[in-house]
Chains A and B, each alone.
Chain A
Amino acid sequence: MSYSDTIPLHPSSQSDIDEIENLINSNPTSVLPARPPSPPRASIPISSTPPPPPAFIPSNLPPPAIHKPTPVPSVIPTVPAVAAPKPPLPPSHGSSSSGNIGVTGFGSAPNTLTEPVWDTVKRDLSRIVSNLKLVVFPNPYREDPGKALRDWDLWGPFFFIVFLGLTLSWSASVKKSEVFAVAFALLAAGAVILTLNVLLLGGHIIFFQSLSLLGYCLFPLDVGALICMLKDNVIIKLVVVAVTLAWSSWAAYPFMSTAVNPGRKALALYPVLLMYVSVGFLIIAID
């Protein structure tokens, strides 16, 4: 071995050699001879387990977003390539970065293939509930609103819009189908247009995040529509709709206002208010 060649022989060379042998025997993985380690084999995360749980290679190489805790620890065993140079491929954190659950429109992918579907469903449901709590209910510990709905999802808004449409349709005595179709189209198109409005005003908001937000803010109006469906008194309807309208607008205000610069706040908020008022009128006027 070339290693012994580089050590000059000394009267106490035997002890040196013993020392080296001890080192090698005690820690076989970290002591390496002069030949370079074999990088590619060592850095493939799955080469050491049979049958390997397939590892996902991320397409970009971003550092894993640390703010999301992974529910399941990484299953990829760390290869004993401790002394190897930085591997040319993405490191074996492929699983943990895929474990930082990306947010998607209709749910996220679990980070292991063996995660049962029921777990995914539960996780998505809990995300809907937490988004709802974050957006609609008063929360003194709320962090910067622009970042609050980072885990946007569209399931919540979908359910709320459909529920509102159904409630209005049930309340209507005639033309039920038209009422539903109009309510759905109005809310969906309204959310898209409001988002475009913010973007055109030079605001910084992600399209889907804003859609998600506007959908979640419909929750109070859903409650109001349900109450109005059950109680037919006009006075009660007016009061309930006014309260829920104020609640919806209050919920939407922080997100919309932080998205644009202060001079244009009113321009961004007024259409939102207008849409919720028109939905409120729909609720009152249906009989």
Chain B
Amino acid sequence: MDLNPPPGENYGHPRICLFHVLFKGAALAFYILSALFVNSFVIIFVVTVLLAALDFWVVKNVSGRILVGLRWWNEIDEDGESVWKFECLDQESMARINKKDSWLFWWTLYLTAVVWIFFAIFSLVRLQADYLLVVGVCLTLSIANIVGFTKCRKDAKKQLQAFATQTLATRFQSTIQSAFSVV
């Protein structure tokens, strides 16, 4: 992954990209600036965690689907067992994903987690347990999304490979068959 956005094309879904970044940025900005302006810890906590939760929802349900074509969720089946499902778009649509969109998606995802980790260390050093709580919750949400989408992407790659080999195998088979039937 490089530091600069891929040149050439524009963003495919600018509004979605905006929302993807908006809540993350708002949570971080509020957390940083609130210490200067807001006196009450409760408000800092509630607003920051609420923004982080909204960001989690947006990334999981909206920008993940639209920007990179990945989706993950949890289901409880008939036996009461918990099953994690990972889905990806089919190959043609995956090839058409806007490169800039996906660059932005992954970079902001990882970057916010790194920033929250930094804040966690900061508040740990200062021994502020309550701020650590806020940062802990936001970090958990970011990491959950990262883990989910990374697993999804790995799964998608495996899927595409399996699809490709299977397609080759069946085409080969059908070619052989048609060759024999003509004879």
> Which residue numbers of A lie inside 8 Å of B, CB to CB?
2, 34-36, 38-40, 44-46, 52, 54-60, 62, 65, 67, 88-89, 94, 98, 102-110, 113, 117, 120, 146-147, 150, 152, 155, 158, 162, 165-166, 169, 176-178, 180-181, 184-185, 204, 206-209
Contact = CB atoms under 8 A, between A and B. Distances in A.
Given A108-B61, A162-B46, A208 B82 contact: yes
Contact of B167 (A40, A57, A146, A204): A40
A104 B73 contact: yes
Contacts of B60: 104, 106-107, 109
Nearest to B41: A177
A204 B80 contact: yes
Contacts of A204: 80
A107 B93 contact: no
Contact of A89 (B41, B49, B93, B166): B166
Given A58-B87, A59-B88, A65-B75, 12 more contacts: A2-B181, A39-B174, A40-B170, A57-B90, A59-B85, A102-B73, A103-B73, A106-B56, A177-B41, A177-B42, A181-B133, A208-B82
A46 B90 contact: yes
Interface string B169-183: 011001001100100
Interface string B82-110: 11011111101100000000000000000
A57 B87 contact: yes
Contact of B53 (A103, A106, A180): A106
Given A58-B85, A59-B86, A36 B42 contact: no
A134 B174 CA distance: 54
Interface string B149-183: 00000011001000100110011001001100100
Interface residues of B, number: 52
5 contacts: A88-B166, A152-B76, A181-B41, A204-B80, A206-B81
Given A35-B178, A102-B75, A208-B82, A56 B41 contact: no
A206 B82 contact: yes
Contacts of B159: 57, 59
B78 interface: yes
B66 interface: yes
B74 interface: yes
Main secondary structure of the interface of B (DSSP, over half): helix
A110 B73 CA distance: 11
A60 B158 CA distance: 12
A62 B174 contact: no
A54 B93 contact: yes
Contacts of A105: 56, 74, 144
* Max count, chain A CB within 10 A of own CB: residue among B56, B77, B170: B170
Contacts of A181: 41, 45, 129-130, 133
B106 to A, nearest CB: 19
Nearest to A39: B170
Of A57, A165, A181, A207, which is in contact with the most chain B CB atoms at under 10 Å from its CB?
Answer: A57
B46 A89 contact: no
B4 interface: no
Interface string B121-155: 00000000110010000000000100000000001
Contacts of A206: 76, 80-82
A126 B151 CA distance: 29
B163 A36 contact: no
Interface string B47-58: 001100100110
Contacts of A60: 83, 85
